[in-house]
Chains A and B, each alone.
Chain A
């Protein structure tokens, strides 16, 4: 991480006596306005829904039961597994995983190419990759919605070139959401891999090449193990936001391509909402994220040893 002081903890200590007072504002703000709210959200997921979108402070497992268990339309059947929400989660996981894979396939060669440029031009290439990341995600998603429309520029171009006769109905499908996720988070994959490749000791590749390894053997057996931490970091940076994405599924997917983000959003809209249920879905989403982070941390430490 860029912000982590390298290893000078304890060496430069001219503010040692002030360290805690200096951190007080951070603790107050992030502690009160993020850490505390997340804990409160967990509590909320165990509360009872009130009919006007509010809650009653009576503890219940109803929200989680609604997620996992169905008792039929009238609630009088024996409990069985509720698939509706599990399917939405499954679709989200699948879409996020595919987007991560696509980002890796395009992002790795890009990061490699940039990291092997002469140092003076690296900055410019990198800057070109970073700019879209800073452009408003909403605007980027809207632009995709514009392009992917039935009579949008993409379909027009395909018809003019004679590749298709009638417009492809891309918008409001899983494909459109996938394009949106891939497009949204691509820079997140390039940057950490770039950082890893830049640190890579190319003498290792040369040594392997001298020992008659071909280019792709060098890549597979020498380079990939060395830049693994960068790949893992990029994977996590794409997968986590893609899993909880809201804009791409909402603006590009429509009702058919419902994902976790839209499901949560729905619980907080108007009087139809169900806050404890929304909180419960968020808790389940956060649990998935923690599992993903845990897997990444384990994979990283396994690679290091």
Chain B
């Protein structure tokens, strides 16, 4: 029966697809170990640009930007995960209610509106209400677009957990809060974790919206890198990029493993 599934050349195209996706990343990773000060010539293997990232002339600027990026991602992902969990409980355990369809559309709205439009609209909004753009406005914007990303794994997990566990707890005189905290929450754990990790990555990666609402003088890692690249790609950018690459891959792998283990252990 292999016949109808097999098409000649599809394996080759799949390999082309993977090559297209990975070669640029590999090239950056390889060149980040270049000893030469010019990005054009290969000057042998060296870790000097990694040292430069932490001690070089731009270390302070990138350090501050990294700190901003990490704290913003931490706050935004945590709040977005809490909001998304609450929304998922309503959408999946709330039965039929008026406004359910509209709520679903609203949760997914950040995914439907082009990023550039979100950026413009958010900047106009903050300016109109007189909120000075800076750290706070970045956090608010990030929470908003992180919600659907946190929502997807949480909702998927929740719809895989049978309602009967909580009902059994309630029958045994657990309060609603106890049933939630002691029964549902542990079961939901992997979904929450993987939702949080995805939201964290999404926040860390954002450039377009942050660039609009960051205000003068405020930098996150992507906006700092963008500013640097605009003046030409320097070798230290390759090292920073490779480090970010590593962090992204680590986080996504973690989210994937947690999700998988959760699914296997799912009752």
User: What residues make up the interface of A, taking CB atoms closer than 8 Å to B?
Assistant: 1-6, 8-16, 18-20, 22-23, 25-27, 29-31, 33-38, 40-41, 44, 106-107, 109-110, 112-114, 116, 123, 125, 127-132, 134-140, 142-147, 151-153, 182-183, 186-187, 190, 202, 205-206, 208-209, 215, 218-219, 240-241, 243-244, 246-247, 251, 260-261, 264-265, 268, 275, 278-279, 282, 285-286, 289, 293
Q: Nearest CB to that of B1 among chain A residues? A: A206
Most chain-B Cβ atoms within 10 A of its Cβ — which of A123, A139, A241?
A139
Contact between A190 and B17 (Cβ–Cβ < 8 Å)?
yes
Number of A-B contacts defined by CB within 8 Å: 298
Write out, one digit per residue, whether chain B residues 5-27 have a CB within 8 A of any chain A CB (1) or not (0): 11101110110111011101101
Q: How far, in angstroms, from A267 to B204 measured CA to CA in the complex?
A: 26
Of B31, B159, B205, B208, which is within 8 A of A8 by CB?
A: B159
Of A13, A113, A135, which is within 8 A of B93 by CB?
A: A13
Contact between A116 and B5 (Cβ–Cβ < 8 Å)?
yes
Q: How far, in angstroms, from A20 to B86 measured CA to CA in the complex?
A: 10
Contact between B16 and A106 (Cβ–Cβ < 8 Å)?
yes
Q: How far, in angstroms, from A131 to B17 measured CA to CA in the complex?
A: 13
- In this assembly, does B53 line the interface, its C-beta being within 8 Å of a C-beta of chain A? no
With a CB–CB cut-off of 8 A, which chain A residues contact B16? Answer: 106
Size category of the binding interface on chain B: 35 or more
- In this assembly, does B45 line the interface, its C-beta being within 8 Å of a C-beta of chain A? no
Contact status of A247 and B208, CB under 8 A, knowing A13-B95, A109-B10: yes
Contact between B222 and A275 (Cβ–Cβ < 8 Å)?
no
Most chain-A Cβ atoms within 10 A of its Cβ — which of B120, B152, B207?
B120
Most chain-A Cβ atoms within 10 A of its Cβ — which of B17, B18, B140, B143?
B17
Given contacts A128-B18, A183-B24, 5 further A-B contacts (CB under 8 A): A25-B83, A33-B122, A40-B121, A186-B21, A261-B116
Contact between B14 and A113 (Cβ–Cβ < 8 Å)?
yes
Q: Among residues 53 to 105 in chain B, which have CB atoms less than 8 Å away from a CB atom of chain A?
A: 82-84, 86-97, 99-100, 103-104
Contact between A286 and B117 (Cβ–Cβ < 8 Å)?
yes
Contact between B39 and A33 (Cβ–Cβ < 8 Å)?
no
- In this assembly, does B256 line the interface, its C-beta being within 8 Å of a C-beta of chain A? yes
Q: Nearest CB to that of B202 among chain A residues? A: A134
With a CB–CB cut-off of 8 A, which chain B residues contact A112? Answer: 7, 10
User: What residues make up the interface of B, taking CB atoms closer than 8 Å to A?
Assistant: 1, 3-7, 9-11, 13-14, 16-18, 20-22, 24-25, 27-28, 31, 39-40, 82-84, 86-97, 99-100, 103-104, 106-110, 112-118, 120-125, 128, 140-141, 143-145, 147-148, 151-152, 155-156, 159, 163, 166-167, 170, 198, 201, 204-205, 207-208, 212, 222, 225-226, 229, 233, 237-238, 241, 244-245, 248-249, 251-252, 256, 260
Contact between A279 and B24 (Cβ–Cβ < 8 Å)?
no
Contact status of A107 and B104, CB under 8 A, knowing A10-B96, A244-B117: no
Contact between B91 and A5 (Cβ–Cβ < 8 Å)?
yes
How far, in Å, is B77 (CB) from chain A's closest CB? 14
Contact between B7 and A26 (Cβ–Cβ < 8 Å)?
no
Q: Nearest CB to that of A57 among chain B residues? A: B128
Contact status of A106 and B20, CB under 8 A, knowing A16-B95, A251-B229: yes
Contact between B114 and A240 (Cβ–Cβ < 8 Å)?
yes
With a CB–CB cut-off of 8 A, which chain A residues contact B117? Answer: 38, 41, 244, 282, 285-286
How far, in Å, is A135 (CB) from chain B's closest CB? 5
Of A10, A140, A241, which is within 8 A of B24 by CB?
A: A140
Contact between A34 and B124 (Cβ–Cβ < 8 Å)?
no
Contact between B20 and A244 (Cβ–Cβ < 8 Å)?
no
With a CB–CB cut-off of 8 A, which chain A residues contact B108? Answer: 1, 3
With a CB–CB cut-off of 8 A, which chain A residues contact B225? Answer: 138-139, 142
Q: Nearest CB to that of B230 among chain A residues? A: A251
Contact status of A23 and B120, CB under 8 A, knowing A33-B140, A134-B248: no
How far, in Å, is A158 (CB) from chain B's closest CB? 14
With a CB–CB cut-off of 8 A, which chain B residues contact A35? Answer: 106, 109
Contact status of A218 and B4, CB under 8 A, knowing A25-B87, A241-B114: yes
Q: Nearest CB to that of A190 among chain B residues? A: B17
With a CB–CB cut-off of 8 A, which chain A residues contact B3? Answer: 209, 215
Contact between A293 and B24 (Cβ–Cβ < 8 Å)?
no
With a CB–CB cut-off of 8 A, which chain B residues contact A143? Answer: 24-25, 27-28, 241
Contact between A37 and B122 (Cβ–Cβ < 8 Å)?
yes
Contact between A109 and B13 (Cβ–Cβ < 8 Å)?
yes
Question: What are 15 inter-chain pairs, A to B, with CB distance below 8 A?
Answer: A9-B100, A14-B93, A18-B89, A25-B82, A29-B144, A30-B109, A109-B7, A128-B21, A136-B222, A138-B207, A146-B233, A153-B31, A246-B115, A246-B116, A285-B117
